[in-house]
Structure 1
Amino acid sequence: MLTPSPLFALLLALQSMSSQVTPSPKLPPANPLPIGGAEEEAVLAPVNALLGAIRSGSAEAANAVLRADGSATAAVERPDGSRSVRRMTWTQFTAGLKPGSGAYETISDPAVEIDGDIAMVWAPFTFRLNGQVQHCGVNHFDLVREGGAWKVLNVTWSQRTTGCAG
């Protein structure tokens, strides 16, 4: 059996090292994509309806645009630097919606990606309670289309109290 020479082994190792890609430590921020197509607007409709349900405090309105087997997940960063991840079923999430609560969430510059019957919306948000900023972050909505209608399957968001625009 032939054994490679030390020089050949070194060249082989150098070649494999040069073909490796070092991953970037952080992905660049999502750039908002131009919204204007009917399909993108159709994807945003249940997202906007969910935000409207939060504002009105209507669990019924929220459930109309949610897929029941989905969930909501928050990745929270506290001012002291501690972090936690909290997951809720949609039942738990909508139980917290109360009419007249003063809760109001807005998104800006949504990026929408669609592939067949799945879609994703990525958007910075600010959450206010009675007009006062409580926290901000980025929302990531996963949507699925069934029977021609888009539904929110999951939403995951980052949540922090520092660096929020007033």
Structure 2
Amino acid sequence: MLPLILPLLFQVTPVAPIIKGTALPPPDADTAAVLAPVERMFAGLAAHDAQAIRAELRPEGGATVAIEQPDGTRTIRHLSWDEFTAGIKPGAEAFEERFTGPPAVEIDGDIAMVWGPYTFLLDGKPHHCGVDHFDLIHDAGQWKVLNVTWSQRTTGCEAA
């Protein structure tokens, strides 16, 4: 009798796995608070203002870019925040980086992640695109970017 009952006791109902980036969203106020420093970084880039970008960063973090060339060669480069912001200088070019759809935002206590496809526009035209990934830390009542990692390609980019 036991061999007949055991399979019934341990029967598991199959459940489809959760699709990446589709966790239940946190409350809107939390999402907005996490996205705010990312949006301010985008605004600092558009304004050619390295100091505005640095104001959103944790000093111990950094940036990593995974570049894919049109011929398929790939390069990964890590930058300190000083190296990352060194290229942000006053100029006549119009920079704009924006998500091409709503980014995924995940929050757990004092850590958060923002992940989403982006397009970088130079003078209003797509220059490169990929996926942005921001790691954030909540400290002393503020969300700060600890790390930013992005993929970068010049093919298949659309204006957002």
| TM-score, normalised by the number of residues in structure 2 | 0.81
Whole-angstrom distance in 1 between the partners of 2:146 and 2:115: 14
Distance 1:74 1:50, change over 3 A: same
Match of 1:16 in 2: none
1:33 & 1:159 partners in 2: Cα distance?
28
Corresponding position of 1:112: 105
- 1:49-64 matched pairs, under 5 angstroms: 49-64=40-55
State the Cα distance separating 1:128 from its structure 2 match: 1.1
1:1-166 aligned at under 5 Å gives the runs 30-31=21-22, 37-100=28-91, 101-107=93-99, 108-166=101-159
What is residue 20 of structure 1 aligned with on the other side? Answer: none
Give SS of 1:57's match: coil
Unmatched tracts of structure 2, length 5 or more: 1-17
State percent identity of aligned pairs. 54
Q: Which runs of 5+ in 1 are unaligned?
A: 1-26
Structure possessing the higher radius of gyration over alpha carbons: 1
Distance 2:118 2:23 in 1: 13
Q: How many residues align?
A: 140
Q: Which amino acid aligns with 1:165?
A: E
State the Cα distance separating 1:99 from its structure 2 match. Answer: 2.4
Which consecutive segments of 4 or more residues in structure 1 shift more than 2 A?
27-36
Once residues 103 and 47 of structure 1 are traced to their aligned partners in structure 2, the CA distance between those partners, rounded to angstroms, is 15
TM-score, normalised on structure 1?
Answer: 0.78
Q: State the alpha-carbon separation in 1 of the partners of residues 24 and 152 from structure 2.
A: 23
Which amino acid in structure 1 is aligned with residue 96 of structure 2?
Answer: Y
Once the two structures are overlaid, the 10-residue window that deviates more, 76-85 or 30-39, is: 30-39
SS at match of 1:164: coil
